[in-house]
A and B are shown apart, each in its own frame.
Chain A
């Protein structure tokens, strides 16, 4: 199965996002390279607002991830609560 991935700048703001992705997607793996964190997952990956809010303890607007987002691959499905990447349809 093809992998989807998403990469963020490696900084303080993307930390909770990365932690949330790893918590919500057990099959996802993060690769740290200088200045960049790339997360791969087979087939599908989901980013949940609720999980990020739990980690930061404050309201979080999912659009905020765009500021530190470097690249992604997969079909994007996005609403206020979730952003998912997938190759499934």
Chain B
């Protein structure tokens, strides 16, 4: 007797959800598309928010940027909860082994005392900047419109919290817990940090979510991360015996580079939609990048001495180039 096994392919009647098919047609959708497209609540809100009755709960009017379709602001990294969590878990594992390496070999104690103090003096107040970034991106998620825009903003907020936690842990690894208090005291009282602190606190009350996005993610972080983690940590601390600090902050430049793709894509698509959008976003960028550079100047001088302002200017020029590439008038 012969038994013939055959596989029979059954064509599914639908390849994806109707809400996704409305954007990409009836073909197999990626998980990112299914988690993003057509998810935003758009209608049948029963009540207006009591705290802002001029708007609906989810309202495109909270920002001055106008888009015909808010789902155009896709995240090129295609992050949704699952793959974002897996990526960060992998990076967390790498960071854990960096910490283990540094701690088991006592690399922190082998750093020259002056260098270790300097690393703490520059890096620890930045915990509060990262916390501001967490608050601001949460705000972007809360006031923004369209899942494609708001969901990655929430992931970005959690990433900022992660950065703050890594800095805390860095302080504990390099110095006594007192280093964290000293960093907070500098942040609250030392004149050189007050410009940056004012900028962070001013952005906390920016109402327009897109403006806040540009201020925090493009202008402030666009200057801060390359300056601190490339010019200060990698180019200054590491060659002087502070490799441990490079290892313990390895996540930050990696994350900044990765998330910059998202930030640039959002700005580029929104600016390309209309001249009005482009003018608006360019104006925001110009204004916040000026403020951020001024606020970071004393920090740059603390970090690199006289070379600090020059390095900050270099970072500014490459950020301007990045903004120009994203289609802004700079």
Contact = CB atoms under 8 A, between A and B. Distances in A.
B185 interface: no
B159 interface: no
A57 B261 contact: yes
Contacts of B76: 57
| Listed residue (A15, A32, A56, A57) with the most chain B CB atoms within 10 angstroms of its CB | A57
A57 B7 contact: no
Contacts of A57: 75-78, 261
Contact of A33 (B7, B28, B261): B7
Contact of B30 (A12, A33, A34, A58): A12
| Listed residue (A33, A34, A58) with the most chain B CB atoms within 10 angstroms of its CB | A58
B86 to A, nearest CB: 11
Interface string B65-87: 00000000001111000000001
Interface in A14-72: 15, 32-34, 56-58
B258 A58 contact: yes
A34 B10 CA distance: 8
B9 A12 contact: no
A33 to B, nearest CB: 6
B31 interface: yes
A11 to B, nearest CB: 10
Interface string B29-58: 011000000000000000000000000000
Contacts of A58: 77-78, 87, 258
Contacts of B75: 57
A32 B31 CA distance: 19
A-B residue pairs, 5 tightest by C-beta: A57-B76, A57-B77, A34-B7, A58-B77, A12-B31
A33 B7 CA distance: 8
Interface string B6-23: 011110000000000000
A15 B77 CA distance: 15
Nearest to A56: B78
B91 to A, nearest CB: 12
Interface in B111-133: none
A15 B9 contact: no
Contacts of A56: 77-78
A77 to B, nearest CB: 29
A34 B6 CA distance: 11
A88 to B, nearest CB: 32
A15 B29 CA distance: 10
Contacts of B30: 12, 15
Nearest to A35: B7
A40 B78 CA distance: 28
B77 A33 contact: no
B289 to A, nearest CB: 25
B307 to A, nearest CB: 32
A74 B75 CA distance: 36
A56 B30 CA distance: 11
A46 B30 CA distance: 23
A34 B77 contact: no
Interface string B229-263: 00000000000000000000000000000100100
A12 B29 CA distance: 9
Contacts of A12: 30-31
A3 B239 CA distance: 54
Interface string B81-98: 000000100000000000
